[in-house]
Structure 1
Amino acid sequence: MTKSQLRQFAQEYHKNPLWRAMTNVLAKTSAADIAYVNSRGAAIQPVFSVDIPTMKAVDQQSSGRCWIFAGLNLLRERIGKKFHIQEFEFSQSYVAFWDRLEKINYFLEAMMTLADRPVDDREVQWLLQQGIQDGGQWDMFVNIVRKYGLVPKYAMPETWQSSNTKPMNRLTNTKLRQYAAILRRMAAEGKDQDALQREKNRMLSEMYGFLCCCYGEPPERFDFEYADQNKEYKKKRDLSPDVFYQEYVGDILEEYVSIIHTPTGDKPFGHSYTVSWLGNTLDGNIVRYLNVEMRRFKEMVVKQLTDGETVWFGCDCVQDDEQAVGVWDDRLHDYKTAFGMDFSLTKEERLDLRESAVAHAMVLTGVNLADGKPDKWKVENSWGENSGHKGYYVMTDSWFDEYVYQAVVQREYLSAQEIAAYEEEPKILSPWDPMGTLA
């Protein structure tokens, strides 16, 4: 850029009354508030033709455990219906504890596997930069629950660290990078795999203690006591987490399939995909997706909802949201009019150019059908009862088209051809693919 160009830019700015007005307005007001379309927010009401009764909204606090909260919100409704319990929560900390320990082991195994690569190798750098995070994917949730079971929230309640995970994450990842340096140095010195495994086990023991300090120690036995909707008190003594899951929820997680809508050229519809170095347990399921067209995606989701079961899903929640009115709508903000500039991208472009990806997992609990087609959806969030409509939100169908990427549905809603495609050998995507992001 030359000085003459810059002078021309300044002249064009001063000639534009909209930009001069926006300069004054934006000094005291957010861009989102300026661009907010009040008529859209007011017109989107939380009323639905299909509305599944669910328990009150929960709060993930200052943590990135939405995928765990969404998964447990789905499962707690089974307990509520089966035992006539009106309010109940599983321990999110219990699931998060075991997920974090498994991720630590997963990371250390990756460092040992890649120890012969230079430290600036792209995959090594990706793993070191990411470390381990709060976020996860549906198959990772399944792995933890099926391996470790579940407990009620009172059996392993929240701590300050579990609800405010940033300091714990920083310390954990600093320690993991230290461990990576040790394991890489041992490999460079010619130490055998047995020596590396012994050192890894020492590291795991150390991190187990650290996690107990942060979360508390996971219970091995507990009593399950509750009062049903008729106020009748009941108690089952001395349960283990795996027995509690098997008997009170049922081992039903393998019946679910993760579908995605990703209209990018590298992911043809009708095929399955996985992501390299994305997972938690080494002995569990891989993260697997079936990519389907949006029409089919919605058909399966609507069918599950109309059959009375909620739906775990993943989306990009930061796009066109308004927490105060509890709405996600792609026409909620008019930035084009506010700035005189076009900001539009297609869904494919947003994925390819890293403008958007799965950022949050929640639960669909309802849908409004107009002439048999959805026009808005009811969403159970995990941001507490003080946001949205007592923790529940409305999502327009057009926003769903643009920013919903993933849902989990029962196998019975897939055709035989879709099940075969889901179970085929999946294409392995790079770790930095947008479908590798964690909810």
Structure 2
Amino acid sequence: MAKIENERTEAFREAFEKNSKQVALQRSVVKNGIRASAENIQTHVENTPVFSIDLATGKVANQKQSGRCWMFAALNTFRHKMLTTFQLKDFELSQNYTFFWDKYEKANYFYENILKTAEQPTSSREVAFLLQTPQQDGGQWDMIVSLFQKYGVVPKSVMPESSNSSNSRDLNNYLNKLLRKHAVLLRQMAAEEATDEEIQANREAMLQEVYNLLAISLGTPPDNFDFEYRDDEKNYHLDQALTPQSFYEKYVGVNLDDYVSIINAPTEDKPFMKSYTVDMLGNVVGDKPVKYLNLEMDEFKALAVRQLEQGESVWFGCDVGQSSTRDSGIMALDAYDVDDLFDVDLAMTKAERLDYGESMMTHAMVLTGVDLIDDQAKKWKVENSWGEKVGEKGFFVMSDEWMDEYTYQIVVRKEFLTQEQLTAFEAEPTVLAPWDPMGALA
């Protein structure tokens, strides 16, 4: 047992106080904070917001105090297309509408997993994992596809933001309380060997409670509506008696089955050129599971570049909190020189960060540009969903080296994959544990 002796701690203190450099740094860090003291101004010079490929996108959206980045990013890719096709200005699709149905479907998905694990004790890792967070705001690309294909989309004007979609903490708190109570009842019924019909009847009553809670908190999703707008040339348009599904087909028109998720996870347990899925990860019961193809980083980036070259933005997932400046919007490995500040070595490989819990996908955004020099990417333009007061009016600059280390997922059209890559994606996937870092929700 390596107990810390008081004499040893006193020796550490004496050594620290004898080091004038450390004492000077102490004054700066205590007063200004770690990041402000470690920020490297030179990185701003090296990551100017100029790109050889720069797609038109309009103003950025703002997810506010919620974890809806994955749906904002997906809806933004649709919005980019609509702005050009229909000459719209400052237009957004309703994030609140998609948010409602995601919560509703996640509740049912939670019931499904609770019943699937009903014979296990609550102390089992699987049940404890489910009960820790019955549902949350985050999600994955294939989960948003399930929602769009089932429920369509609507303009933001038809179902605008609510207090609880813009700040979702209380909604998540009370919805998770309700779902945990429902888990108690479902597990009791399973233990008492209730019939499937009895369980289903109670499950439907529970879903009614969930629907009521969501409708009170977020509003009632429209089932039909009129779409009224003026285009950039001030021409008036009125499209009546639309459904969310018909609106999607007419105004978005993207075949979501044409897209695949690509990941870069260089860990020993995930060989490249293999497909993967994650157990107990999803939202719509009975829909296709989350699925990825793991590729090396040069192939990963080449696919993103190809889609941008074709004029289409790219949904992607990363660990945004790593070495990025929120106010100025710089994502670069040298954004902060923390190693020199503390005289430590924090370097780890990408695989080590995944294996040891130092990093995982935490945020989804959209690639809207890239700076190519001699056909090599030097930096990337990123559309965030934190409003216009961060970055360059909401846009970030990501160095290519940062992308290598902290970007984990992109979504691209199947047509850009080689036949070998497509075959690997379509193969039977390896099933990862629910708590695998590749199951992280953006």
- TM-score bucket of the superposed structures, by smaller chain: over 0.9
Instruction: Determine whether 1:409 maps to 2:412.
Output: yes
Unaligned runs of 5+ in 2: none
Letter in 1 for 2:181: Q
**Aligned length, in residue pairs:** 439
Deviation digits for residues 284-337 of structure 1 (CA, Å, limit 9, x no counterpart)? 221101000000011110010011000000000001111222211111111121
1:377 is aligned to 380
Deviation digits for residues 135-156 of structure 1 (CA, Å, limit 9, x no counterpart)? 0000000000000001000110
2:336 is aligned to 333
Return the offset for 1:251. Answer: 4.3
Instruction: Determine whether 1:233 maps to 2:236.
Output: yes
1:170 is aligned to 173
Q: Report the Cα distance in structure 1 between the residues aligned to 2:211 and 2:302, rounded to whole angstroms.
A: 44
Q: Report the Cα distance in structure 2 between the residues aligned to 1:15 and 1:344, rounded to whole angstroms.
A: 27
Moved more, 320-329 or 58-67: 320-329
User: Contact 1:311–1:364 (CA<8 Å) still a contact in 2?
Assistant: yes
Give the alignment of 1:258-273 within 5 angstroms.
Answer: 258-273=261-276
Instruction: Determine whether 1:40 maps to 2:43.
Output: yes
1:292 is aligned to 295
Letter in 2 for 1:194: E
2:31 is aligned to 28
Deviation digits for residues 383-405 of structure 1 (CA, Å, limit 9, x no counterpart)? 00111111111111111111010
1:276 is aligned to 279
Q: Report the Cα distance in structure 2 between the residues aligned to 1:397 and 1:104, rounded to whole angstroms.
A: 39
2:348 is aligned to 345
Within the candidate set 159, 162, 181, 2:162 is matched to 159
Instruction: Determine whether 1:76 maps to 2:79.
Output: yes
User: Contact 2:143–2:283 (CA<8 Å) still a contact in 1?
Assistant: yes
2:432 is aligned to 429
Q: Report the Cα distance in structure 2 between the residues aligned to 1:86 and 1:311, rounded to whole angstroms.
A: 21
2:151 is aligned to 148
1:368 is aligned to 371
- Report SS of the residue matched to 1:236: strand
Percent identical residues: 46
Within the candidate set 217, 220, 240, 2:220 is matched to 217
Instruction: Determine whether 1:56 maps to 2:59.
Output: yes
User: Contact 1:347–1:403 (CA<8 Å) still a contact in 2?
Assistant: yes
Q: Report the Cα distance in structure 1 between the residues aligned to 2:107 and 2:397, rounded to whole angstroms.
A: 37
Within the candidate set 133, 137, 141, 2:140 is matched to 137
Return the offset for 1:85. Answer: 1.8
User: Contact 1:315–1:357 (CA<8 Å) still a contact in 2?
Assistant: yes
Letter in 2 for 1:296: E
User: Contact 1:137–1:438 (CA<8 Å) still a contact in 2?
Assistant: yes
CA change 1:306–1:251 in 2 (3 A) is closer
Moved more, 24-33 or 159-168: 24-33
Within the candidate set 77, 81, 85, 2:88 is matched to 85
Deviation digits for residues 146-205 of structure 1 (CA, Å, limit 9, x no counterpart)? 000010001100010110000110011111111111111111122122211111110000
Give the alignment of 1:317-328 within 5 angstroms.
Answer: 317-328=320-331
1:203 is aligned to 206
User: Contact 1:288–1:426 (CA<8 Å) still a contact in 2?
Assistant: yes
- Report SS of the residue matched to 2:80: helix
Q: Report the Cα distance in structure 2 between the residues aligned to 1:172 and 1:435, rounded to whole angstroms.
A: 25
Give the alignment of 1:179-194 within 5 angstroms.
Answer: 179-194=182-197
Instruction: Determine whether 1:14 maps to 2:3.
Output: no
User: Contact 2:264–2:295 (CA<8 Å) still a contact in 1?
Assistant: yes
Q: Report the Cα distance in structure 2 between the residues aligned to 1:88 and 1:246, rounded to whole angstroms.
A: 17
2:116 is aligned to 113
Return the offset for 1:25. Answer: 2.1
Q: Report the Cα distance in structure 2 between the residues aligned to 1:386 and 1:24, rounded to whole angstroms.
A: 30
User: Contact 2:327–2:389 (CA<8 Å) still a contact in 1?
Assistant: no
- Report SS of the residue matched to 2:315: strand
1:354 is aligned to 357
Return the offset for 1:89. Answer: 0.6
Instruction: Determine whether 1:308 maps to 2:311.
Output: yes
Moved more, 85-94 or 351-360: 85-94
User: Contact 1:257–1:408 (CA<8 Å) still a contact in 2?
Assistant: yes
1:67 is aligned to 70
User: Contact 1:18–1:339 (CA<8 Å) still a contact in 2?
Assistant: no
Within the candidate set 130, 133, 147, 1:127 is matched to 130
1:395 is aligned to 398
Q: Report the Cα distance in structure 2 between the residues aligned to 1:158 and 1:271, rounded to whole angstroms.
A: 40
Q: Report the Cα distance in structure 1 between the residues aligned to 2:259 and 2:46, rounded to whole angstroms.
A: 35
Return the offset for 1:60. Answer: 0.3
Please, what TM-score do these two structures have when normalized by structure 1?
A: 0.98
User: Contact 1:91–1:150 (CA<8 Å) still a contact in 2?
Assistant: yes
Q: Report the Cα distance in structure 1 between the residues aligned to 2:191 and 2:15, rounded to whole angstroms.
A: 60
